[in-house]
Structure 1
Amino acid sequence: MKIAFVGKGGSGKTTLSALFIRHLAADGRPVIAMDADINQHLGPALGLTDDQAAALPSLGAHLPEIKEYLRGSNPRLASADVMIKTTPPGRGSRLLRIVEENPVYATCARPIALDEGSVRLLATGAFTEEDLGVACYHSKVGAVELLLNHLTDGQDEYVVTDMTAGSDSFASGLFTRFDLTFLIAEPTRKGASVYRQYKEYARDFDIALRVVGNKVQGPADLDFLRREVGDDLLAAFGHSDWVRRLEQGEAPPLSALEPANREVLELLKAEADAAYHWRDAGRYTAQAVHFHLRNAESWGNAKTGADLAAQVDPEFTLGRQTGVPAQNPATAPA
């Protein structure tokens, strides 16, 4: 499953995405963690030191090699130079799988040993001095979109992505690349406002959105979220001394997390597992094509000097050629 964590800055989305990743790994699930927030904090939240996090390879810095690998023998791609962040896979493209070894993972992924299990971490890379004033963060997170367009996954396998903060998550087609999106919301007017904004953006694309309350201090906070969010509220994460210790630089074992908060993580996992039965390979591929054609017309054709619409393979649907089950939400079992 492809899972995203979104929310306004300071809502706790990175902390909760890291906790969810730890919880999955402790349950023995294969997990790829992706840090798509330009403020790179997922590594430290998973236990890396600042120096270790800074030494992580950047997906953006290796984009040419990534494109060349994914291009494979796709006859619609004359070279890696004509690939952009939205280029969809077609017959002949190389696809990524969660449990495998490949040159992309060898170059860009780093294993992280946790107190319970381990994960692979991929990071977009932070802004560098050369980027300041001349680059947009989309040039970094575009690598994540390209990877997810070419990634197949099965039941009990996870890609968990910590997205960029705020509504910027919707500034590209990346927000459609997930089976389920967890929105982390504080019990405040601002938190409710961000929820409504996300809900509005997601509506036209049939995005599965679940709200997780954070920093919930008592019944009044929970009642506020219920009034503002309604049925989209899945769970509420309460006060956590465990999280405070983590933020202070300690490395508490996951087993020490408060039982009530561990139950929230289990509820998130159950919801993510259910998302496997909602997935629609046709819709997923159609959305990738939709945003690719929009980007091609807006800037891609001019930048590459090619007609990028010709990259679309009408006979290819991600998932159906790879043995990954696909179901329509209208016919999926409850």
Structure 2
Amino acid sequence: MKAAFVGKGGSGKTTLAALFARHLRTLDDTRALLAVDADINQHLAVALGADAEVAAMLPALGDHLYDIKEHLRGDNPLIASADAMLKTTPPGPGSRLLRVDEPNPLYDKLVADVGGVRLAVTGPFAADDLGVACYHSKVGAVELLLNHLVDGPGEYVVVDMTAGADSFASGLFTRFDLTFLVCEPTVRSVGVYRQYVGYARDHDVPVVVVGNKVEDADDVAFLRAEVGDDLLCWMGRSGFVKAAERGRCLPIADLEPAGVAALETMRAALDEQPKDWVRYAGQAAEFHVRNALAWGNARAGEDLTRQVDPKFTLAPAPAEVR
């Protein structure tokens, strides 16, 4: 299952994404786990327990986009070269598909163990990018990986997304079984919620709200009044979370029972989401065609919409579903 964490900047989405990944790592029925930092502010590694110097040295997906394309295209006859691939290019016959945890050259090069969690990072917005590059060109590496990734029961991908509505600058927001929108009990945070779900539900993207920094019953009542049935659970006053937001990564076993219960509620909601591989392929094709027509065809000098095989889906073989 693939989960995204979104929300207003400063809402605590990175902290909760790290907590959720660490919680999943402790569960006996978690077969595989991969966390991905796709936020322009690269803080997930530190939230998972890495010190800042180690986090800054992690290999960046955005720096290896050509290698990612070259590996994923395999011998797909619909893709002439890695240079002809966009961030939205869907898989097809001959493409190399990924599993959440497997030996492959991309994971060997780009995935690191951080606090017991396998982590890939998009990489920071560098000084050389100022004024000449869009951060979403880096995030395109994540979209490509998820377009080619097959996940089964007990296999999880947890992605910390860019804040606010920036996630809609690409089709990446459609690549998840469930999106957790982290919402503080404030007017500004609720405003981001309304903007996000307004876009997401136009594309059948399921979104639930996780309240954060909830102090009392009035905060809960405020969230219920503003987001209604979308409120799945909330994180209340927590010394563990406060320590995490101040850079102290305590053992996950120290998380208060109420926090554990909230994470379990989130895990259950994610596990209950139906897998619809046909829709997943259709969404990938839709955004690829949009990008090809808007700019990709002109750049490549060819019709990149022909890279779409309408019969191809990522559904795993029955023997792989256990």
Q: TM-score range by the shorter chain?
A: over 0.9
Structure 1 distance, partners of 2:259, 2:316, is 37
Secondary structure class of the residue paired with 1:235: strand
Partner of 2:6: 6
| Selected match of 1:133 from 109, 131, 137 | 131
- 2 CA distance for matches of 1:61 and 1:211? 33
| TM-score, with length taken from structure 2 | 0.97
- AA in 1 matched with 2:284: A
Structure 1 position 320, deviation (Å): 5.3
Q: Residue 213 of structure 2: SS of its match in structure 1?
A: strand
8 Å Cα contact 1:153-1:324 kept in structure 2: no
Post-superposition Cα deviations, 1:220-245, rounded to whole Å, max 9, x if no partner, equal 00000000010110001111111222
| Structure 1 position 294 matched with structure 2 position 296 | no
Match of 2:90 in 1: 88
Residue-by-residue CA offset, 1:133-163 (whole Å, 9 max, x unaligned): 1111111100000000000000100000000
- The amino acid across from 1:108 in the alignment is L
Cα displacement string for residues 47-84 of structure 1 (whole angstroms, at most 9, x for unaligned residues): 00001110011101101111110010101111111001
Write the mapping of 1:34-73 to structure 2, written as runs, cut at 5 A: 34-73=36-75
Helix, strand or coil: the match of 2:182?
Answer: strand
For residue 128 of structure 2, give the secondary structure of its aligned residue in structure 1: coil
Post-superposition Cα deviations, 1:197-228, rounded to whole Å, max 9, x if no partner, equal: 11110121111111000000000000000000
Instruction: Specify every segment of 5 or more residues in structure 2 that has no aligned partner in the other structure, as ranges.
Output: none
Aligned with 1:97 (options 96, 99, 105): 99
Q: Aligned letter for 1:297? A: L
The residue type equivalent to 2:204 in the other structure is D
Q: Which of 145, 148, 160 is the matching residue for 2:146?
A: 148
Of 244, 249, 260, which residue of structure 2 is paired with 1:246? 244
Give 1:247 deviation, angstroms: 2.9
User: Aligned-residue CA RMSD in angstroms?
Assistant: 1.2
Match of 2:254 among 228, 253, 256: 256
The letter of the residue matching 2:99 is: R
Q: For the Cα contact (< 8 Å) 1:281–1:320, is it kept in 2? A: no
Q: Quick check: 2:88–2:287 contact (8 Å CA) kept in 1?
A: yes
Alignment of 1:1-334 (within 5 A): 1-28=1-28, 29=30, 30-112=32-114, 114=115, 118-275=116-273, 278-319=274-315
1:167 offset after TM fit, Å? 0.5
Provide TM-score, normalisation by structure 1: 0.93
The 10-residue stretch of structure 1 (84-93 or 191-200) with the greater mean CA deviation from structure 2: 191-200
Distance 1:193 1:66 in 2: 36
Question: How much does 1:250 deviate?
Answer: 2.5
User: 2: distance between equivalents of 1:26 and 1:320?
Assistant: 25
Letter in 2 for 1:93: S
Q: Is the 8 A contact 1:152 1:324 kept in 2?
A: no
- The CA distance in 2 between the partners of 1:162 and 1:139, in whole Å, is 16
Q: In proportion to residue count, which structure has more helix?
A: 2
Measure how far apart 1:322 and its partner are: 7.8
Shift of residue 251, structure 1, vs aligned partner: 2.8
- Which runs of 5 or more residues in structure 1 are unaligned? 326-334
Q: Is the 8 A contact 1:36 1:162 kept in 2?
A: yes
CA distance in 2, matches of 1:128, 1:170: 22
Instruction: Please tell me the residue identity of whatever aligns with 1:41.
Output: H
Cα distance in structure 2, aligned partners of 1:323 and 1:225: 43
Query: Contact 2:8–2:189 (CA<8 Å) still a contact in 1?
Result: yes
- Read off the aligned partner of 2:313 and give its amino acid letter: T
Cα distance in 2 for partners of 1:253, 1:270 equals: 22
* Cα distance in 2 for residues equivalent to 1:13 and 1:309: 35
Deviation at 1:85, TM superposition (A): 0.2
Aligned 8 A contact 2:15 2:245 in 1: no
What is the one-letter code of the residue matched to 1:3?
A
Q: Distance in 1 between matches of 2:205 and 2:246?
A: 35
Q: Partner letter of residue 7 of structure 1?
A: G
| Gap change, CA 1:179 and 1:323, over 3 Å in 2 | farther
Q: Figure out how many residues of one structure are paired with residues of the other and give that number.
A: 319
Segments of 4+ moved more than 2 angstroms: 246-251, 320-325
**Cα distance change on mapping 1:323 and 1:61 into 2, 3 Å:** farther
